[in-house]
Amino acid sequence: MKSFVIGCIVVLAMAGSAFSQMKEPPKTLAVDLGKGVKLELVLIPAGEFKMGSPDSDKDAFKWEKPQHRVRITKPFYLGKFLVTQEQWEAVMGGNPSDLKGPKKPVEMVNWEDCQKFLKRLNDKVRGERFQLPTEAQWEYACRAGSKTRYCFGDDEKQLGEYGWYEKNSGNTTHPVGEKKPNGWGLYDMHGNVWEWCQDWYGDGYYATSPTDDPMGAATGSHRVVRGGWWFDPAGLCRSAFRGLSESGRRFEDLGLRVSLVPAESGIRPPNRTRSRS
């Protein structure tokens, strides 16, 4: 029998204008995967934002436009960190990564691999619904209330304080959480590895996207990836930049971050134990 303990932890120190918009510090869930390995998720509040890039952004591509209003109508949890190799191994029993390191983000995983990981996680942590974030959830969480090119502002010279990219990565991944978090306590939202999203990718989707909880194109040949990776220039690590990849592609630039939809009745109480024989 394996037990997976979910506990609430108050995030005591948050900074930035995004935090000032919140009535109280966000909470996190800690999911015990066994052998001292935990998966931490931050509670992201419901709210609205401008998704995509304005015409004034010189680095913006046409598929980041038009900038449009989006409402995230329900709170959700998002991984405080990228899924690490030790977390993947704790759930799946193996480590597919090329750039090895237990605290480094897992890579060499395609979209289907991520679905298998999530299914196994859901099977073991009964009553929960882990999934990949939608593209809208990802950008909303990355921005953390900001309206700038990056979660921290517009000056790409500061990117090295928040993420790993071409100028500071040394051409490799790095252990998660070594850089500064964004305003909602999420790490490595810029760089390190690309993050799979749940959505199909559509070039013109922004022009027809619904305002409330957009789910991406109805069909497609590629899935959305977000955040940039360790080999990318700063411009491809912006909050609004949209990447795409075939769902079957595995490479050392692709990883994931887990989201969790809270129960309809609200946030679970602390120290609630889930077990499965």
Please check whether residue 138 is in contact with residue 51, taking contact to mean a CB–CB distance below 8 angstroms.
no
Q: What is the mean pLDDT of the chain?
A: 88
pTM value?
Answer: 0.88
Please check whether residue 78 is in contact with residue 42, taking contact to mean a CB–CB distance below 8 angstroms.
yes
Q: Which of 135, 148, 146 is nearest to 59 (CA)?
A: 148
Superfamily of domain 2-276: paralog of FGE (formylglycine-generating enzyme) (3.90.1580.10)
Q: Where do the structural domains in the chain lie, given as residue ranges?
A: 2-276
Question: In percent, how much of the chain has pLDDT > 90?
Answer: 81
Q: Convert the pLDDT of each residue in 120-147 to its tens digit.
A: 999 888 778 999 999 999 999 999 999 9
Q: Convert the pLDDT of each residue in 10-22 to its tens digit.
A: 232 233 333 334 4
* Average pLDDT of the residues in 69-79: 97
* Average pLDDT of the residues in 23-43: 87
